[in-house]
Structure formats: structure tokens, C-alpha cells
Amino acid sequence: MTTPSRRLFVMLPFALLCAIGLSARPADADLSKKVIAAFKGKLLVTSGPLESVGDDKATIAHFKKQALTEVKSTVGADDVPTWFFVYTAFLNRTGATSMKLEFYDGKNYSADKQLTGVDPKLTVLTGEIEITEDDNITKGKTYTLKLTGNVKGKEVVFATGQVKMN
């Protein structure tokens, strides 16, 4: 049985991950209720997976230090800027079986990545994102990221964050 204090992840079939630019990792450490509460409703963007270090206070400080405000692009296929990053979302509620990671330029929707097969009991969701300029992302802009989904027919924002795409 999984408890809310465990670090939980979505596992999607490999082919689906490749097709939509997402991948998930298995849990490598437990997170305490205090650590989860410290980031509730936040989506952290990092260059690699987040791991607990020492006590709760040290782990919270480490997560804050690892969070990126900017992601640098690489040149992908056809010379198109491509961004890769790891996200960790500390959900403010549970209940969705599918979600979208939406990118907003101010109030304007720009792009999204779909997540399906989500365990509706998850409290922490992590994975990798690959997104390109072809997905309507512009180099040099700062985007608000919203992890959204439907719960009982109502659109819900589970976590938010912000990152500049350079």
C-alpha cells in the first residue's frame, strides 16, 4: 500500500514516452509529509531528478537550490531549438488519471505535453520533458507551467512553476 508520504511516480509505456517527449523514473527515495507540504502546488524544473539529502530542512533547501529558473536549449533535428528538463510536481490535490503540462506565455497558451495513465492517488509526480520550438515555444521567453487535469468533470490546476527557455 502506498502512503501519501512516499515519493510517487507515473510509469508510462516506453513507446508513448518517446512519442510525446515525456519519461518517468521509478521512485528512488521517500519524501516526508513535511517536505511535500513545503512544495505543495509547486512544479520544480531541474536538470536531473531530485533526491532527499539528510533531514527535512536540508532536503527542502537542496530542492530549492536545484530548481532552475532557466533551461538552455540544444539544437535538435532540423536545427530546431530543443529543451530537455526534469519536472517534479507536488500536487495540491489528487484524483486525475490524465494530465497536461501546459506552457503559458503570460496569459497566452503556447503548448502542452500529455500525461496519461496517471495514478489518481499520486501526491508527487516527476518525469522528463522534451519540447521544441516546433511545439510553439520561443527561445528567450519565460513560461508559466501548469500541470492540469480533470477531476469529476472539472478542470483543475495541480501545480505551477515558471521557467525561461534560452
CATH number of the domain encompassing residue 85: 2.60.40.10
Q: Are 102 and 165 in contact (CB under 8 A)?
A: no
Q: Is residue 84 part of a domain?
A: yes
Domain that holds residue 85: 14-165
Whether 156 is in a domain gets the answer: yes
What is the tally of structural domains in the chain? 1
Per-residue pLDDT of the chain (166 residues; tens, 9 = 90+): 333 333 333 333 333 333 344 443 323 347 889 999 999 999 999 999 998 898 999 999 999 999 999 999 999 768 999 999 999 999 999 989 889 999 999 999 999 999 888 889 889 999 899 999 999 999 999 999 999 999 988 999 999 999 999 9
Rounded Cα distance between 152 and 134, Å, is: 33
- 7 found inside a domain: no
Q: Answer whether residue 78 is part of any domain.
A: yes
Q: Answer whether residue 8 is part of any domain.
A: no
- Let me know if residue 9 belongs to a domain: no
pTM of the model: 0.80
